[in-house]
């Protein structure tokens, strides 16, 4: 047997994730197992329906959070949708569809349960002859729209497993597009809603507001393609803010249908979100989303949305919010810097600020700061006076 | 004839216990620890749904599914893809940097293509034989050997080493 080259031996030593340190009996693993075995096994029909199942971790305001102790970023809401067409006769483009939904009646709940192949929907709504539903599960959910010439089933994945990590003013945004049998396109938005969210109105150019249905911790709205949806107004118990909608939700033209296994099916797409200050006119609550990169030992780049100030406390004071209100820096705290351009010294992707516009903050770690000795430091973000500051503890072992 | 539900569940439980950590580590090395749970769950869910087609030696098959799951995630959203690229590119380097022992490896790794990193990772970190690693990428063992040889040479070049010429010093296909 030949000896391993030095380069590979070096690489082996630097293995970033060692399997022997992982515990297959961890609570996360046990929960994953229990969840999986409750899922139905594939039938041939289900395989056809799931021809393009995918998941996306992308939201406007629902972001992963770093947990204390390096537990990692919690999964975030996401979606992707698979459209499957029924074989009924062609109809005009979503005839009878309404911008204001009605709560699903018992017969519509039954129709959704039967048509979508799932039980216990969290949300059922009707827009004219069309019934839409969201079925929740511990890991996510399934969105479904049925009606004349349309049967749409999709997976919404990666939703926060623990509701108490989901901020009460926030909504997760996942968009998808599909088309009916005749190629008429539609756009769908869905996601989780925080407990303080009272209403969501989708604004489309040259159209009246579109009311989203909210029920069971979820919301859903869908509309015929061809109209630009620009923003959503989220009303909470403490105020109101606007969100810029993902590009997919703004799509004006219906997607072109594709064929799979001899059946005509709709297409699906998910657009990127954006939530930078000013992107929607009125910024949402400040949100410390996640670290992005550590280009140098003493420099950390963190994504913080909707913040006007970011304060970093390396030895967390008893009340960091008070430290923020004293207009810091005080004691062990210092200000982070909002990057408006990427300094050429950074060996990170040049499009960083395009990915996170107005949301990349640079944290300079003190000289001699060692994560072994100081594993956790505190970040506090202040934003619009309409919303309380956000705070989180970061661990350099992320 | 289809196995009973109980037999299916027992078989899947054994598969889960034997491979959960391996798949999780595979995912964590590529998309980071924070998204590894989701990729692992999705991968094993595919295995559960398609238990009938899982091969007797499932690890390369599972890695292949995990690669597809990651690929679909990246394709699903331009923003998400960029985010994941950032995370994936930064994470290994960060580990090297924090170790403080191999900064040259961090720099070299940054310069490699994703394809080079994949064959190196499958060989070194996933510790697969060439024949199994080739299955993950759905290529022949000989093709994988060539890719590995070239990737190793590029790594060594980046490391500033003078790679030996001639026959590649890589594990032989089995």
Mean pLDDT of chain A: 64
Who wins on pLDDT, A148 or A366?
Answer: A148
Sheet holding A174-179, edge to edge: A174-179, A185-192, A218-224, A213-215
| Candidate from B77, B97, B152 with C-beta closest to A270 | B77
Mapping DSSP to helix (H, G, I), strand (E, B) and coil, where does residue B54 land?
coil
Threshold 0.90, pTM exceeds: no
The reply to whether residue B21 touches residue A19, judged by beta carbons under 8 angstroms, is: yes
Q: Which residues of A touch B114 (CB under 8 A)?
A: none
- CATH architecture for the domain at B1-76: Orthogonal Bundle (1.10)
Q: Which of residues 144-173 of A touch B (CB under 8 A)?
A: 157-158
* Vertex A110: Cα angle to A108 and A111 (nearest 5): 60
All structural domains of chain B with their residue ranges: 1-76, 112-174
Location of each CATH 2.60.40 domain in chain A: 287-395
Question: What is the distance between the alpha carbons of residues A225 and A93, in angstroms, rounded to a whole number?
Answer: 10
A327: distance to nearest CA of chain B, Å?
A: 32
A64 vs B: CB within 8 A: yes
* Exposure of A73 in the CB half-sphere (CA atoms within 13 A): 27
Least confident range of A32-41, A79-88, A383-392, B119-128:
A79-88
The reply to whether residue B152 touches residue A5, judged by beta carbons under 8 angstroms, is: yes
The closest of A294, A328, A313 to A379, measured between CA atoms, is A313
- Using the Cα atoms of residue A53, residue A56, residue A61 and residue A63 in order, give the sign of their dihedral: positive
A3 vs B: CB within 8 A: yes
pLDDT at B23: 93
Per-state percent for chain B, helix, strand, coil, to nearest 5:
80, 0, 20
A184: distance to nearest CA of chain B, Å?
A: 22
The closest of A394, A328, A398 to A363, measured between CA atoms, is A394
Pick the CATH number of A287-395 from 1.10.1060, 1.10.510, 2.60.40, 1.10.3470: 2.60.40
Q: ipTM value, please give it.
A: 0.76
Spacing of C-alpha A42 from chain mean position: 27
Q: What is the topology classification, in CATH, of domain B112-174?
A: Arc Repressor Mutant, subunit A (1.10.10)
pLDDT at A206: 66
Q: Which residues of B touch A72 (CB under 8 A)?
A: 33-34, 37
**Location of structure tokens 């964590």:** B28
Interval A166-175: pLDDT, tens: 677 778 777 6
Cβ(A389)–Cβ(A380) below 8 Å? yes
Sheet holding A197-204, edge to edge: A210-211, A197-204, A229-236, A239-244
Who wins on pLDDT, A259 or B79?
Answer: B79
The closest of A146, A162, A145, A135 to A40, measured between CA atoms, is A135
Cβ pairs bridging A and B (under 8 Å): 175
């Amino acid at each position: 047997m030949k000896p391993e080259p030095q380069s590979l031996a070096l690489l082996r030593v630097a293995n970033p994730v060692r399997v022997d340190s992982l515990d297959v009996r961890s609570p996360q693993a046990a929960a994953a197992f229990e969840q999986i075995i409750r899922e139905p096994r594939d039938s041939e029909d289900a395989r056809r329906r799931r021809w393009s199942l995918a998941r996306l971790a992308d939201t406007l305001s629902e972001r992963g959070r770093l947990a204390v102790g390096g537990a990692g970023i919690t999964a975030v809401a996401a979606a992707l949708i698979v459209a499957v067409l029924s074989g009924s006769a062609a109809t005009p483009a979503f005839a009878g569809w309404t911008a204001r939904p009605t709560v699903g009646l018992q017969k519509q709940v039954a129709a959704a349960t039967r048509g979508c192949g799932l039980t216990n929907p969290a949300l059922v709504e009707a827009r004219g002859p069309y019934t839409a539903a969201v079925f929740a599960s511990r890991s996510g959910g399934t969105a479904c729209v049925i009606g004349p010439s349309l049967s749409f089933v999709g997976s919404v994945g990666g939703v926060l497993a623990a509701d108490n990590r989901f901020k009460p003013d926030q909504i997760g945004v996942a968009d998808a597009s599909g088309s009916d049998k005749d190629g008429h396109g539609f756009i769908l938005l869905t996601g989780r809603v925080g407990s303080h969210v009272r209403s969501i109105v989708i604004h489309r150019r040259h159209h009246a507001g579109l009311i989203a249905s909210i029920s069971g911790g979820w919301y859903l709205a869908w509309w015929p393609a061809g109209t630009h949806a620009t923003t959503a107004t989220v009303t909470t118990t403490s105020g109101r803010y606007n969100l810029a909608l993902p590009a997919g939700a703004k799509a004006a033209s219906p997607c072109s249908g594709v064929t799979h296994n001899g059946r005509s099916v709709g297409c699906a797409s998910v657009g990127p979100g954006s939530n930078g200050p000013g992107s929607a006119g009125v910024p949402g609550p400040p949100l410390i989303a996640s670290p992005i990169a550590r280009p140098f030992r003493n420099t950390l780049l963190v994504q913080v949305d909707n913040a006007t100030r970011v304060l970093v406390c390396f030895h967390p004071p008893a009340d960091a919010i008070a430290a923020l209100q004293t207009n810091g820096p005080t004691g062990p705290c210092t200000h982070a810097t909002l990057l408006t351009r990427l300094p050429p010294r950074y060996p990170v992707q040049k499009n960083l600020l395009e990915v996170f516009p107005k949301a990349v903050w640079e944290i300079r770690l003190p000289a001699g700061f060692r994560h072994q000795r100081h594993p956790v430091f505190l970040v506090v973000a202040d934003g619009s006076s309409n919303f309380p500051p956000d705070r989180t503890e970061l661990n350099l072992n992320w | 004839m289809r196995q009973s539900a109980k037999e299916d569940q027992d078989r899947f439980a054994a598969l889960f216990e034997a491979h959960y950590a391996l798949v999780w580590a595979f995912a964590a090395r590529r998309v980071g620890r924070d998204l590894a749970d989701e990729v692992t769950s999705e991968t094993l869910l595919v295995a559960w749904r398609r238990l009938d087609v899982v091969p007797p030696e499932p690890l390369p098959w599972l890695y292949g599914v995990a690669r597809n799951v990651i690929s679909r995630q990246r394709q699903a959203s331009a923003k998400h893809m960029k985010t994941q690229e950032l995370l994936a590119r930064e994470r290994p380097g960060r580990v090297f940097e924090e170790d403080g022992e191999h900064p040259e490896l961090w720099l070299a790794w940054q310069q490699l293509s994703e394809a080079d990193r994949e064959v190196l990772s499958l060989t070194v970190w996933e510790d697969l034989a060439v024949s199994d690693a080739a299955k993950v990428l759905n290529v022949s063992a000989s093709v994988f050997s060539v890719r590995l040889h070239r990737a190793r040479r590029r790594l060594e070049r980046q490391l500033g080493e003078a790679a030996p010429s001639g026959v590649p010093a890589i594990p032989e296909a089995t």
